[in-house]
């Protein structure tokens, strides 16, 4: 039955990787393989000789000799444990996405566009890369990419030029997301799994991540495409009087989440729900204040900014993460990931080489399952350098292929960027940046 479950994972992941060729959204194979993996565990439970105790990070002694009832109790307890931990991450992401959508409802991100005054291609490259690096650390790399490409469309009308900027935004956003506990799904997983603390993650990865962004941007400055000036076209913009205010409130409340966790020691999703509540309250107050007396009679919560924001969040991504994380949890529960980790250690492979290769692998295989697997593979203490290295490698390694990160996939869709165009023009810059960051991290250890 272990072979069946591993086969389900391999086939499911192959379908996820080929989603553009198959024209099937990746959430579908993710959910199906999750259900089949746990069904395989349920049907073959009596035949399993090993079981991983997630609470104590070790194999259960004498699991094979236990009765069916005892094994069922272990399965139900483990399933509930993993579902709870997964839901903590998903609710956290829903809160963050909703705050961003509420901010966008008030055109808050237009305030960023208004500060971009240059028409120099090179200067604009530095501006968007620096913004990508900073914004992704606050609102996550996926959302930062969407925001910046949307702004770019109003500044750069030439699509052939804009895809170059979009490619560099992917590199910058992934680098920025790696050093923040709320900048990437994988760093959020490590943070909420008590593998890293927010302060140590920032301290250990800020410089390597910055190098990962700066080096490719410096090299790109020498490319002919980023020389000269941009022909700008003035457009009328819809400006909200509350836009700038909501931008600072939204970003500020997201940044408040790690502070809340540090003070209260409560799980991060509690702080995110508090932040969402505060932002929603302010948004509803500002919206209601703008209604005239005659229109208030017809006003309903359905037309409020919070409800509209909830209809726009990326639910397919949430369900995809649910399927992936719970499938990896099935593999972990059988002890397969734990035993694989021990075999890597016993083989004598240098752990730094292994993590570097893991980062490169995240360009082909989504970084979420890789990090989920590594969390079950190693039992290092909190804030061990291994966890910080994994956070950096998985967060930035995906930049080497456009399909290797959520930021790359969304940019691919928004700007119709070809896989092979990115491979030819941006991948080498991302590779150099990734290796430069790896070297910086290892030097500082």
10 Å CB burial of residue 300 (0-12, 13-18, 19+) is: exposed
Band of the pLDDT at 310, cuts 50, 70, 90?
A: confident
Please answer whether residues 367 and 407 qualify as being in contact, where contact means their C-beta atoms are separated by less than 8 angstroms. Answer: no
Mean pLDDT estimate for the chain: 84
Range of the domain at 383: 2-444
Confidence of residue 294 (pLDDT cuts 50, 70, 90): very low
Predicted pLDDT of residue 237: 59
Higher pLDDT, 173 or 415: 173
| Nearest alpha-carbon partner for 223 in 301, 132, 161 | 161
Determine contact, residues 312/135, Cβ cutoff 8 Å. Answer: no
Of residues 64 and 406, the one with the higher pLDDT is 64
Q: What is the reported pLDDT for 287? A: 81
Res. 300 pLDDT band, cuts 50 70 90: low
- Which range, 45-54, 187-196, 349-358, 422-431, is most confident? 422-431
Contact 405, 174 (CB under 8 A): yes
Which residues, including other chains, have CB under 8 Å from residue 208's CB and lie 6 or more apart? 179, 392, 437, 438, 440, 441, 444
The domain total for the chain is 1
Average pLDDT (173-187) is 89
Q: For residue 229, what are the β-bridge partners?
A: 120
Q: What is the DSSP letter of 140?
A: -
- Output the six-digit token pair for 185: 């799904």
Is the confidence at residue 347, as pLDDT, over 90?
no
Comparing 324 with 249, the larger pLDDT belongs to 249
**Which of 245-249, 251-255, 278-282 reaches the highest mean pLDDT?**
278-282
Statement: residue 301 has pLDDT above 60: no
Query: What angle is formed at CA 401 by the lines to CA 400 and CA 402, rounded to 5 degrees?
Result: 125
- Does residue 291 surpass a pLDDT of 60? no
Cβ atoms of 358 and 393 closer than 8 Å? yes
Burial class (CB in 10 A: 0-12, 13-18, 19+), 1: middle
Residue 336 is predicted with a pLDDT of 79
**Residue spans of alpha helices (H) in 362-426:** 367-377, 385-397, 406-415, 419-425
Q: How far is the C-alpha of 438 from the C-alpha of 419, rounded, in Å?
A: 25
Which stretches of 222-350 are DSSP H helices? 243-264, 268-290, 293-296, 305-312, 315-333, 336-346
Calpha distance 279→48 (Å, rounded): 49
Predicted confidence band of residue 366 (pLDDT cuts 50, 70, 90): low
DSSP state of 229: B
Which residues contact residue 386 at a Cβ distance below 8 angstroms, ignoring those fewer than 6 apart? 351, 355, 378, 380
- Please state the rounded mean pLDDT for residues 90-111: 83
pLDDT band at 293 (very low <50, low <70, confident <90, very high): very low
Average pLDDT over residues 346-374: 79
Q: DSSP characters for 419-440?
A: HHHHHHHTHHHHHHHHHHHHHH
Q: Does the pLDDT at position 117 exceed 50?
A: yes
Mean pLDDT, rounded, for 24-43: 89
Q: What is the pLDDT of residues 8-29, one digit of tens each?
A: 988 987 887 777 677 788 789 8
The encoded tokens of residue 441 equal 């991290």
Nearest to 328 by CA among 364, 372, 292: 372
Beta bridge partners of 120: 229
Give the whole-number percent of the chain exceeding pLDDT 70.
92
């Amino acid at each position: 039955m272990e072979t069946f479950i591993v086969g389900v994972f391999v086939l499911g992941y192959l379908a996820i990787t080929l989603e553009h060729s198959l024209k099937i959204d990746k959430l579908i194979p993710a959910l199906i393989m999750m259900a089949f993996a746990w069904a395989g565990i349920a049907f073959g439970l009596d035949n399993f000789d090993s079981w991983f105790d997630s609470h104590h990070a070790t194999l259960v002694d004498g699991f094979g000799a236990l009765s069916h009832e005892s094994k069922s109790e272990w399965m139900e307890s483990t399933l509930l444990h993993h579902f709870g931990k997964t839901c903590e991450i998903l609710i956290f992401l829903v809160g963050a996405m909703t705050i961003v959508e509420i901010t966008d409802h008030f055109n808050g991100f237009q305030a960023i566009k208004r500060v971009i005054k240059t028409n120099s291609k090179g200067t604009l490259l530095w501006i968007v890369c620096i913004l990508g690096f900073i914004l992704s650390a606050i609102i996550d790399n996926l959302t930062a990419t969407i925001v910046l490409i949307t702004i770019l469309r109003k500044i750069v009308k030439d699509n052939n030029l804009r895809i170059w900027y979009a490619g560099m935004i992917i590199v910058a956003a992934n680098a920025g997301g790696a050093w923040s506990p709320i900048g990437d799904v994988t760093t959020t997983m490590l943070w909420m799994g008590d593998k890293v603390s927010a302060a140590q993650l920032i301290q250990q990865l800020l410089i390597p991540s910055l190098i990962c962004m700066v080096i490719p941007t410096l090299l790109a400055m020498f490319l002919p495409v980023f020389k000269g000036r941009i022909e700008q076209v003035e457009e009328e913009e819809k400006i909200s009087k509350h836009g700038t205010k909501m931008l600072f409130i939204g970003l500020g409340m997201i940044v408040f989440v790690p502070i809340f966790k540090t003070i209260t020691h409560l799980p991060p999703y509690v702080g995110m729900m508090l932040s969402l509540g505060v932002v929603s309250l302010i948004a509803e107050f500002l919206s209601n204040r703008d209604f005239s007396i005659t229109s208030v009679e017809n006003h309903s919560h359905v037309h409020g900014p919070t409800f509209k924001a909830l209809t726009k969040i990326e639910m397919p991504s949430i369900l995809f993460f649910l399927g992936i994380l719970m499938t990896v949890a099935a593999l972990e529960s059988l002890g397969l990931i734990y035993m694989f980790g021990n075999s890597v250690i016993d083989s004598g492979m240098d752990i730094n080489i292994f993590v570097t290769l893991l980062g490169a692998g995240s360009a082909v295989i989504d970084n979420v399952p890789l990090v989920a697997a590594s969390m079950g593979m190693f039992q290092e203490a909190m804030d061990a350098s291994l966890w910080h290295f994994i956070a950096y490698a998985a967060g930035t390694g995906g930049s080497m292929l456009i399909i290797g990160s959520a930021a790359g996939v969304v940019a691919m869709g928004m700007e119709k960027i070809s896989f092979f165009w990115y491979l030819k023009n941006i991948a080498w810059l991302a590779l150099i940046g990734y290796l430069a960051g790896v070297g910086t991290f290892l030097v500082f250890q």
